[in-house]
Chains A and B, each alone.
Chain A
Amino acid sequence: MSALLETKGLTAHYGDFQALFGVDIRLERGETVAIIGANGAGKTTLMRSLSGVLSNDPDMIHNDGAAVGALGADTIMKRGIAMVPEGRKLFPSLSVEENLIIGGQHKGGRDMGDRIDGLIARITGGDDPSALTGHHDGTGYWTLDTIYELFPILRERRNNPGTALSGGQQQMVAIGRALMSNPDVLLCDEISLGLAPVVIKDIYAALPKIKESGASVIVVEQDIGQALKVADRVYCMMEGRVTLTGRPEEISRDAIHEAYFGAAA
C-alpha cells in the first residue's frame, strides 16, 4: 500500500547551493513523525519541498500514490497537506479570526479559478495544473468553533490583529489556521521555537486532539526530548541527509548524538 506521504531521493537547491541530498522519508496514515537535526540540517527545506513552496521533480514526492513533487503550494494544500510554517507567518493585516478563516477558505475541490485554468489548458493543449486536486473536500472536525475549543484564548483575542499576540498565542493561531482546512497531513516546522516550556506544553497538549481528528503529523523539532516523546518514528538529519531513523524506544542517545553532530563530535 502506498504511504500517505513519501519522498524518494528528494533533492533541493538554492541557486548553486544544494540543501538536500537524496532524502527518503515516509509518513503512514495515523502516524506522527518527528524530524530532528541541528541548525542548517535542511529540515525547513524538507518541509518547504513537501508543502510545494519549493518545486521538485514530480516523482520525488508521492502523496497517496500520486507523484506530487512538482505541484505548487496552493495545489498541495488543496490535496489536504497543510503547513504551519517556521516563524508562524501570521498575516499582519488580518485579525486572529480572519487568519483562522483564511486557512479554510480555499480548501479542497476545484474552484472557479481552477476551472478557468483547466479550460485555458484544454484550449492551449497544456497540462491542467489543478487536475490533481479535488479528492480532498476539506470538511471534517475542524471549524472556527472547534479551534476555539482547542485554544480558548484565541476566542477572547479573535478581533486583535494576529501579530498583536504573544509568541505562544501566535503559534496557536498558526496551528489553527492550518487545521481549518481539515488536512490529512499537518506539517509543523519548529512550533516550540522561542517559547517558554509551559507554553510548549500547552501547544503539544493539542496534538492528541489533532491526531484524533484524523490528521497525520510531521513535526520538525530542535528539542530532541520533545520529539522523542510525541513521535511514533524519528528521522534525524544532518547536512541535507537523513542520518538516523527509527522508533524512539529503539534508538540510543549515543546514536542520536552521532546522527545529530556527526561522528567526529
Chain B
Amino acid sequence: MIWVDTLVQGILLGGLYALFAAGLSLVFGIMRLVNLAHGDLIVLGAYLILVVVSATGMNPIFAAAVAAPVMFAIGWTLQKVVLNRTLGEDILPPLLVTFGLSIVLQNALLEGFSADSQRIGFGALETASVPLGPVTVGVLPLMTFGTAVLTILVLNQIFYRTAIGRAFRATSDDATTASLMGIRPARVFATATGLAMVVVTIAALYLGTRANFDPSIGPARLIYAFEAVIIGGLGSLWGTLAGGIIIGVAQTLGAAINPEWQILAGHLAFLIVLLVRPRGLFPRGKD
C-alpha cells in the first residue's frame, strides 16, 4: 500500500512540475526560445500574488487572477522589447540574454523583498486532505494536478482550435511566409510569451502556497521544468505533463527508498529517458 501511496503522491507532484514547465514548453514550441529566466519569472509571479494578497487580503486564487494580466503585459513587453531582438539563426543570444535576465530578476527581488523566505497563506486548504481510493491525498496537491491538466487542455485547445493558435503554428513553421498572410511575427511571439506568463502565474500560485519561496529558488524550478519539457518531447504539451509526472514519481520513489535520494532520482530518470529516447517521449513533428 505504501507504494501505491508513493506513486499517487508522485503523480500529483508531477502536476506541479508540469505547471512549472508548461509556459517554457509553449514558448519553446512556438519560437525555439529557451527562457533561462523562466524559474525566476515564476518566483516573480509568486511575489506579485503575495503583494496582492497582503494588500487586499483576498483569496490567493483571486489574487492570481489579478496578477495574471499584469504578468501577461510583462511577458508581452519583454518579448517585444528585448527577446524578439535576440531571435535568429544563432541560439546563443537568447540564452545569454535570458541568463542575464535571470540574474537581474533575482537581484531585484532580493532588493525589493529581502532574502527572507515567504509563503502565500491558503488557510485550511494547506493541510486539508481527502481519501482517494486506498490512499489519502492532500487537497492542494490534487488541485495542483487538476489545474495542470486543465491548463494543458486549454493551451492545446488554443493551439489547435483558434485563430491565434493557427498563427502560432504558422509563424513557428515559417515566419516569412506567415508575414505574407498578414501576420506580424514579432506580435505573435509577444502574445505567446504573454500567454506563457499567464501560465507562469498559475504555476506561481501553487509554488507560493505549497512551500516557502525566496528570490533565489527560480533556477531549481527551471531545472525541473526543463527536464519535464525534454522528457516529454520538445513542443508537446501533453508530453510535458508526462515528463512532469515521470520526474515527480521518480522523486517520491527515490525519497521513499532514502530521503536523500529524492532530487537525485528525478535527475536520474531524466538521464535515463534522454539515453533511451534522445528526442523525448512525444516529439512534435520533424526538425
Q: Given the interface contacts A93-B173, A113-B187, does A74 sit within 8 Å of B179 by beta carbon?
A: yes
- Cβ-defined partner of A94 (8 Å) among B170, B179, B183, B187: B170
| Inter-chain contacts of A102 with B (CB < 8 A) | 166-167, 170, 181, 183
Give the shortest distance, in Å, between B25 (CB) and chain A (any CB). 15
A85 interface residue (CB < 8 Å to B)? yes
A196 to B181, CA, bound (A): 28
A38 to B117, CA, bound (A): 70
| Inter-chain contacts of B286 with A (CB < 8 A) | 92
Give the shortest distance, in Å, between A83 (CB) and chain B (any CB). 5
B145-176 CB contact bits vs A (8 Å, 1 = yes)? Answer: 00000000000000000010011011011101
A98 interface residue (CB < 8 Å to B)? yes
A113–B184 contact, CB under 8 A?
yes
Binds B, one of A103-111, A144-152, A253-261: A103-111
B182 interface residue (CB < 8 Å to A)? yes
B: contact size bracket: 20 to 34
A181 to B183, CA, bound (A): 12
| Inter-chain contacts of A51 with B (CB < 8 A) | 180
B182–A77 contact, CB under 8 A?
yes
B166–A106 contact, CB under 8 A?
no
B285 interface residue (CB < 8 Å to A)? yes
The 10 closest A-B CB pairs, nearest first, are: A106-B182, A73-B179, A93-B169, A77-B182, A89-B177, A91-B173, A91-B170, A74-B184, A113-B187, A74-B179
Give the shortest distance, in Å, between A71 (CB) and chain B (any CB). 11
A83 to B180, CA, bound (A): 7
Closest to A98 in B: B166
A2 to B163, CA, bound (A): 36
Give the shortest distance, in Å, between B28 (CB) and chain A (any CB). 15
| In the complex, chain B residues 164-209 whose Cβ is within 8 Å of any chain A Cβ | 166-167, 169-170, 172-174, 176-184, 187
A52 to B176, CA, bound (A): 10
A52 to B285, CA, bound (A): 29
Q: Given the interface contacts A72-B184, A77-B182, A113-B184, does A105 sit within 8 Å of B167 by beta carbon?
A: yes
| Inter-chain contacts of A73 with B (CB < 8 A) | 176, 179-180
Give the shortest distance, in Å, between A184 (CB) and chain B (any CB). 14
| Inter-chain contacts of A70 with B (CB < 8 A) | none
For this complex, 21 residue pairs linking A to B, each with C-beta atoms less than 8 Å apart, are: A52-B179, A53-B180, A74-B180, A74-B183, A77-B181, A77-B182, A78-B182, A85-B180, A89-B174, A89-B177, A91-B169, A92-B173, A92-B286, A93-B285, A94-B169, A102-B170, A102-B181, A103-B181, A105-B167, A113-B184, A181-B181
| Inter-chain contacts of B174 with A (CB < 8 A) | 89, 91
| Inter-chain contacts of B180 with A (CB < 8 A) | 51, 53, 73-74, 77, 82-83, 85
| Inter-chain contacts of A53 with B (CB < 8 A) | 176, 179-180
A43 interface residue (CB < 8 Å to B)? no
| In the complex, chain B residues 207-229 whose Cβ is within 8 Å of any chain A Cβ | none
